[in-house]
Structure 1
């Protein structure tokens, strides 16, 4: 172990990432499932929180695990456990706990930084840039700053110096007076050998925090690499005086002492290192160096064995971005004569530090061995980087397709057709074109082949599928009937006929065809599944369950049957079972199968779980990034997760893929409006209208877009054009009402809305009129209109909801109560209506508010507003402990809601936790959001100061 390597090693200690040095201060707070649990779980949590605040991390972890033994779904427990495990160095378990907190509904602002730290500690740096939860958009500025510093450290480790400095600059723009934004720059500058800039950053940090041990250590690190050893030693001394447990300063000073020949001083630092950080591998390495210099080879060998004993158990992926540890272990194994193990670490190290002295050791290892596998490995690496290598495209026809080389198959068949126009050539050509994404051209070739030779049943079967996918059911039936006439014993062709009949609306014919397919081939699964689908359609749920159970008994991994089980469970209202079946289907899906992932994402969206929906959509996006259905599902999940920026980008890709299909472009435009991308919506609608100028839904939406673009004249012209072309439709008049309202012409708008409602009396036209009348005469005309409508349409839930909301806004709580109760007779499972009713009952001081709030949470267990209502109702009812548990959970799910934070503060203040209460009130009052209890919050703030 040469002095050169030792010096480099000690200097490189300054270049570590700051991932685990970021200080976070999350308030940790519980899910609905735990509310019915023994109160002992909540007490365990509260005790753990106190222990955590007192730095008793081990004790906190024990109490949190005790709580989880009672209820594993307590959100605050999982969150605090993740943080505690992270501080305790158990980063894998920390990731598990933090991920579970995300699944249970924690607001991502609470978890992104500690989860990012856990990822970086495992070498999963890239996930911080790839996973959606680390998107800066929508995060509070303080969390953005911490996440940016985390990104800076990750970028530096990945070798992206420009990206690292960009992240530091963005963090500094948020708060330039925070020392951390200057300290983060120093290791990046050192790595780029920009010592002047590094020194300037160190001085700025010290000016902000003159008594910071970290700042003095960083100043010393700059002096160390610059060769100013006197200043280096002075800075390290100051850092250790300020914090005797500063490991990095101890390591660096011990190394410097070794370089200076001050072995007794180095020995003292190493001994202290072993005391304060007994598992620090660099201390063992320094021990080995000292033993070697003292000519004590046995002690040196023991120290090296201690070192590899510390690093070897750590998965190499955890330390791939910790080059110092990679090199240390490589050097130690080399020193112990374990060349193969040394190579494993030095090869990974070499990728990021190719000019270090350790390169010579790796070269010696390569020279000492002879292996042809290396040549093979290089070749495989090259081929992975060049997947379009021409040598791989030598197979013909269907063999090429079976290998996935569809472009080559197409070229070969086109060449073959130049010599002979054979239908079998066109069949292969058509199939290859379809599989390479050119469906329209492929269909044309298949139609030509089948027309010329109806015996080309492969072409016919493919055509049936294409016709079904494009909605041409009549054509599909005709071809399928031709196929079964040719081959009356072919069960697959009868299955195709059943599918075609089903899409054509001939359910009896579909059932007969499927049953014939099963009769011909009892081992064919597709017609059995299709019969189960018919059963579900006809609400014959028991029959469907029997069919599907029989299929899964024979093949438990049949994803088609598994998905239909999910469909059946969904129809029966069994949400947990539905999710279980969908997840199982998705887990078993192939590398190109996206259907089950899309279904899982849609299921999560329908059940108010945007995070899991986004993860499912992201997974299928990796399989088929240009598939339109995937793009649309991904965009919907992004929107539900609050990532409008990402949704805009995804929808831009969808617009390109959808080409000029008016229906698809209309759908994309509507999503663009949800993403607040008005120009993007306009572009999609222009494409839709360019192919179908009179497409009414697109014309109507374009009118709305023009209003949003502050172009009322264009909007009015388009609305009048719609009226002219559709004089008996309400939509044109409704749009004219929208234009008038945008111009502030309320009487004109009312006339237009009345006209629309006269032409087409519907909920839609009524609600437009209702909303406008709500601003007239205290809202009385609107209420009268809705009440009259409800007499004739007692099942109209939307109007009943609008009426109830109007009563509540007007302070007419008795009428609001009656209206919400009427609404719940129409929609008894309406969680929002239950929550609103509970709030009304609270205003009326009705003790029944608790029961209604509990029902609301049962319907929407992840909704922070519903949880808050229940918590507040429990508090009003004197159930303080339960209220605290609920309100902590609600606050954790929606930390940006000042009303929730105020409610939590009230309970915290009453239970004596005034510091926490003050923090919650400060966050609520400085949020910039107007909330109902702001005056009460200000009064309470004075009381807890």
Structure 2
């Protein structure tokens, strides 16, 4: 009689549960079969304690240790006891029949321990031993993604889904990757399928609630959150999800309360720290917001949103000296955001240095294309970046930025392409190669890299790059790209604003109305969104509404010349329509004269 292993899937882990091989039943008396059966059932339902007890009974009954080592390691992993799991898995003493599952478990152990190269080697051994399974490919995909091989992770996830199109774990993983790529509707469809197969899976409920929230479907998200609390009353993720929904709805006090209950801040989750800072800022506690944003900026120095929020928090808290100390130099760069320049200029004004303030305020008011690409200056000198080389992704980033800023595009391309060759599936490497190609390799080469990066993660900064290069090369339709992204990410107010702006420029007034209204709803303090509404009102002949919107934009950003022009046009239109209001025409003329002097 030939006894062969029969693997089964364990839903709550990264890889397949290690079902005990039937050879044990062939090798000994019937009394050894009972604990093996109990262990198999316990592993299948994710009960590590019961599985370990049954497996130790099997050891006592005389089953050889190599036949049980893989399963005992799995049982310890289910209990999150990595040290005990290593005692069984580390020696790699598995029976021939259990090698595939043993190496799969070892790969998961190394993954949890943060030893990614060792995890990869163990998974390779599992495949070589014939241990291919849906769950193993799910584990490989997660390993590749975490290790910076995002394109290869997508390939592994597709392999898992091909092996098990109705496997909840494979569906969940592919949905997560689609969310990263900005395709929320397709991600939601996969999560719906997964939950139809496993309706009580808390991880799937969390994923679907998050996706529904990203799609702006708050009520549907709350239904999943309520279901989650019924199934797992102690699952604190429910509080975090509700905090995000409350913040999106503008209830920042409730968001703060829920966020504190979630425990995510104590666990130092970056997204939670950012949300906590935003709620503090909106609740009138800028000092606490600045403290949290300072910590987050140390973790994510290239996160432009964190930088701007920190500057805003310092300004709101009256910390003008610190604001100038931190951001006076970055705000002088051509790549600096106008908002940062405006805040630094106002800080100098508060400190009594009006001459320096004028330099920053003039820079903030300088006309610029909202989708123009400006090289990001590096932190530090080019000589310093050269001395460090480009052995790490961070060093490569700094060196390429320095080369681009100094006009050495050809060398920037060489460094970026070498970095990409070391990590051909990395989002960051593809983005860097695209940026370098835009300067030294041509826009078509840049577009190819950006499109590959978009397969992994599609965010507004990447969409900006794609739009700018698409317009420069004529390859593709900018409106189609922007419309597709805005549909996939309906909670992105900047994308909605730019879509409305593009449609208005083409004379499509009616088509621009919905995205413009959405931009205002999502970003009520965005001066550009209010100026756009004023331009729409002017195009529709609604002078009074145009004046209202333009004044709102002007109060938010007085230095922006585009907003000043919109205000002048709105005032003039309102004055022309109302002979009893000559003041509007006078103000419009004064505004135009001020612009001319600039």
State TM-score, norm by structure 1: 0.34
The higher radius of gyration belongs to 1
